[in-house]
Amino acid sequence: MDHPLVSVVVPVYNMQLFLAETLDSVLKSTYPNFEVLLVDDGSTDSSADICAQYAKADSRIRFIQQHNGGASVARNTGIRNAQGIYILPVDADNLIAADYIENCVAVLEKNPQVKIVTCEAEFFGGKTGRWKLPEVSLKLLARRNLMDNCAMYRKADWEKAGGYCEEILGREDWDFWISMLKTGGDVHRLAQVGLYYRVRHDSKRKRTRHLKSELIAQLNRRHKAFFYQQLGGPLHKSRTWSETINRVKHLFEPERIASKPGYEEFVYNIPENFETTKNETGISTFKWQNEQLEVLSFYGSTKSATAAKSYKTDAKAIGYYEKAGFLGKTRGYFIRKQNSAKPKASLIVTVYKNTEFLKSVLNSTKYQTESDFEIIVTEDGDSTEMKSFIENYSFNHPYQHLTQPDEGWQKNKALNAAVKAANADWLIFIDGDCVLHPRFVEMHLANAGEDKILSGKRVKLDPKTTNDYLSEKINIETVRRRIRQAFFGIRKGMKFAEEGLFISPYGFLGFLPKMRKLNYLKGCNMSFSKNMIMAINGFDEDYILPAIGEDIDLSWRFEMAGYKHKSVRNLAVQYHLHHKENWMSQLENAAIMQQKKENNEYICKNGIEKQSTAQ
């Protein structure tokens, strides 16, 4: 029979009175293959001399000395130097039974699902009698320590648990057992007494009682997910009442948390890790266990339903966390894996020189509830200022910047370049003067369909709201409040205020957007698949003046190709920044479109493919 090596690790600090007795009990073990690692933690008595004597007399004993760092540091030092498959920590004042090591190994060898083997114990010294230990369960472990540190486990599991926490003074074994067991695994308690626990008037447990509050705070920080799963919230100083306290608290401040297996620690701790100021929302990227994760932070209970739905339907979603403050807003976080493959959508932004407006538009992309998209800034020109701005802007999404010679209005040419460059199957088009509602991309994708062309509208902001927003005197929430005021006639100067009202499709007014039809496209707010636009050969570059060519012309051509309009009014909401609009006569473009209709040229000849190569 094979006898795998067991490493007995004994941290030592000023234990000259008891150390020899402890070592003698270990050396009497009936198990034939073990080593002993004595780690002197800067003793000031003769403990180090005793360690040296035993190491010299027995080749199974190794002696390590270090500056005083505490029991956890010494224990970790010993285990790092251990050569055994199995680890048994033994305190330098306790004793073990002769057959304890042998019995522990037998259980671990036969039961790979067992992580820890412990035993019955007896007190001696200042107190005698059986140590009455309860049955081990995770729920009970969340409230109290259930085992002495003198229990055997695999060194591999010590490594996975991250070792003993060296910041915790006292009850570090409780913390370690939680680290070991919260990821799964069983505990086996031997029926016989294997440990004899010495009770001293100055025992560590008595010395560290005053640190109870600090210990509980440390445990909650390190194992928040574990305590929430077992107790419905954090561990409290009144440990026995923790679960009841949490239930009462959640009546006033409910929390809803969901996580895919293996991501619990990240999801449950996201409020503490997400660095944000009050009322700020947006997307942040975190690296966790060699994965890139995206976290969307949001406020509002209406968005919570979206987070819960996305968690169920988004293959990359790993969890969400939301908490409703007492008489306050709901704070939420939606977590998903960062995309490494094809994005769900390409957001195509057409621009010409105005970097101030573009900055506000790009800023609004950072707060989208759907984060799986790329940004293509397609410029009808090639300005140095725009190039410098793009290079220095901090994007949260993959992006491309496309340029072309500035030869007058050539927007359709710029749009075709973006279509060709897009990596996604679904294309969303906006202008560089339209700020997006946080659910803009989400709503376009939610309504997408291979036979559907989607179109929304925009609210035109008044000059003061535009200037206040651009100068950051107000945030987007204030803009939305002013739109509501304009809708009810309280505020003047805005146009189409009704288009700036977002109506959740999941709320009790969700039927209203379905009633608001739109049978033509608006170039500032439309989307369709790449296959669809390629089927009609893209945008017609015969149009060299603004209006009609970039949207109205597409409408009839899509209809001729068999595609149908679908409105996203009051769903995909956007806010048009005020500026002077230099309207030109549309008669020339109207005449071009009429001629093409008469010739049935819904597949244009001067589009993505030119006539010489078009089929």
pLDDT > 90? residue 572: yes
CATH for the stretch 345-598: 3.90.550.10
Tens of pLDDT, residue by residue over 106-136, are: 999 999 999 999 999 999 999 999 999 899 9
Please give the average per-residue pLDDT across 218-239, as a whole number: 94
% of the chain surpassing 90 pLDDT: 76
Q: Return the closest-CA partner of residue 576 out of 491, 481, 469.
A: 469
Q: Return the closest-CA partner of residue 230 out of 144, 142, 321, 134.
A: 142
Instruction: Work out the burial of residue 285: count CB atoms within 10 Å of its CB; fewer than 13 is exposed, 13-18 middle, 19 or more buried.
Output: exposed
pLDDT band at 325 (very low <50, low <70, confident <90, very high): confident
pLDDT for position 279? 45
43, two tokens: 């003793």
Q: How far apart are CA 124 and CA 25, in angstroms?
A: 14
Choosing among 3.40.1010.20, 3.40.190.10, 3.40.50.10320, 3.90.550.10, the CATH entry for 6-207 is 3.90.550.10
CB contact at 8 A, 155 and 7: yes
What's the DSSP call for residue 209?
A: G
Q: How far apart are CA 16 and CA 406, in angstroms?
A: 87
Tens of pLDDT, residue by residue over 265-316, are: 999 999 887 765 444 566 778 888 888 888 888 776 656 666 777 788 777 8
Q: How far apart are CA 540 and CA 532, in angstroms?
A: 14
604, two tokens: 């244009």
Q: Is the entire prediction scored with pTM above 0.85?
A: no
Q: Where in the chain is the domain with CATH 3.30.200?
A: 253-337
pLDDT > 90? residue 16: yes
Q: Judging by DSSP bridges, how do beta strands 95-96 and 564-567 pair with one another?
A: unpaired
Please give the average per-residue pLDDT across 336-343, as a whole number: 78
For domain 253-337, say whether CATH 3.30.200 is its number. yes
Tens of pLDDT, residue by residue over 402-423, are: 999 999 999 999 999 999 999 9
Across the beta sheet with 452-455, what order do the strands follow? 399-402, 373-379, 345-351, 426-431, 525-529, 452-455, 564-567
Local structure of 285: helix, strand or coil:
strand
Q: How far apart are CA 485 and CA 504, in angstroms?
A: 19
Q: Where in the chain is the domain with CATH 3.90.550.10?
A: 6-207, 345-598
Q: Which amino acid is at 561?
A: A
Residue 164 neighbours by CB distance under 10 Å = 23
Q: Choose the weakest-confidence range: 321-335, 371-385, 455-469.
A: 321-335
Q: How far apart are CA 596 and CA 538, in angstroms?
A: 15
